[in-house]
Structure 1
Amino acid sequence: MNRGSTYFLRSVILLLGTSVLLLCIFGLPWIAKEASGNAEFASLIYPVLIGMYVAAIPFFIALFQALRLLRLIDKDDAFSVFSVNALRVIKFCAVAISVVYVMVMPFFYFIGEKDDAPGVILIGLVFIFASLVIAVFTAVLQKLLKSAIEIKSENDLTV
């Protein structure tokens, strides 16, 4: 495989990771500081911020696994048990992110009600459905890769 495409994907992953890390370090505390002035919103916004911090943990684990998967692709070892395991971890991380946002979704609803902003609810739904799409996609890739590895091992045994 062309190493340029894997280098591009690595740079995109690092850019995503850096952006989310900067959001966790600077953006979310700024939101918490702004919300602390209004007692009504503070009680609703803090669970959402805690949920975002909790969801960042499986996000970074999934990014690390994606980097591992790209390294396996560069080594021409993409059809291995390690890549199946990396896809499995990415799938579980995506499901975990979705579960965290489902648990935080009532707070998005109450914030949308208090602020009269229905778009806040859509933002929460985007996080949930994007994570679920990634989970389903990695599950399909994992199953496909498992069957390819089985076919490869059968072919290696018949020679």
Structure 2
Amino acid sequence: MNRETLFLKFAVVLMGIPVLALCIFLVPEIGNVAAQLLPKFALIKILVYIVFYASAIPFYFALYQAFKLLRFIDKSEAFSELAVIALKKIKQCAVTISILHLLALPLFYLFAEVDDAPGVIFVGLVVPFASMVIAVFAAVLQKLLKNAIDIKSENDLTV
């Protein structure tokens, strides 16, 4: 099992690298473009920074929780209350990311108005939708794991 979880741990680390690169290189560019496209809104650049950097925090926290979950699997503690808590935190992080990006949706609307491109709004919905899918998936896994732990504890009590 260690080989499979090692691959997944490596994948979790690799998922964090592009987001870090986006935060370093792309977010300042997006802020500058937003300031140029919408000069009437003086604080637009700061708002872009707040939304993207604030959503990076729960993203990395969720990656850390996923890493912890993989360590529980390595230790044969996958069916434990700690794993349920980790899944709950991943779910909360995904919901937080989704809410932050939904709050930024009016920015995408303003960009669409300036460029006369209504498809930009759909681009703005990608991250909140993906985050909600992850949140629902984590909630389902959390519920299944909780049920499995309950069944396991009932079986341990009957023996």
- Does the pair score TM above 0.5? yes
* Structure 1 residues 77-115: Cα deviation after superposition (integer angstroms, max 9, x where no partner): 100000000000000000101111111111111111112
CA contact (8 A) 1:45 1:107 kept: no
- SS of the residue corresponding to residue 140 of structure 1 reads helix
1:75 partnered with 2:75: yes
**Aligned 1:105-124 pairs, distance under 5 A:** 105-124=105-124
What 5-or-longer segments of structure 2 have no aligned partner? none
| Residue number in structure 2 paired with 1:30 | 29
CA distance in 1, matches of 2:40, 2:13: 33
Q: So what's the TM-score if we normalise by structure 1?
A: 0.90
Distance verdict in 2 for CA 1:124–1:35, change over 3 Å: closer
Deviations 1:5-64 (A, max 9, x none): 211211111111111112111221233345545553874454233211111111111000
**Does the CA-based 8 Å contact 2:31-2:48 persist in structure 1?**
no
Give me the whole-angstrom Cα distance separating, in 2, the residues matched to 1:100 and 1:55: 6
Q: Aligned partners of 1:146 and 1:12: how far apart in 2?
A: 26
TM-score calculated relative to the size of structure 2: 0.90
Aligned residue for 1:16? 15
Structure 1 residues 10 and 42 mapped into 2: Cα distance closer, same or farther (>3 Å)? farther
Return the alpha-carbon distance in structure 2 between the equivalents of residues 49 and 115 of structure 1.
21
RMSD: 1.8
Corresponding pairs, count: 158
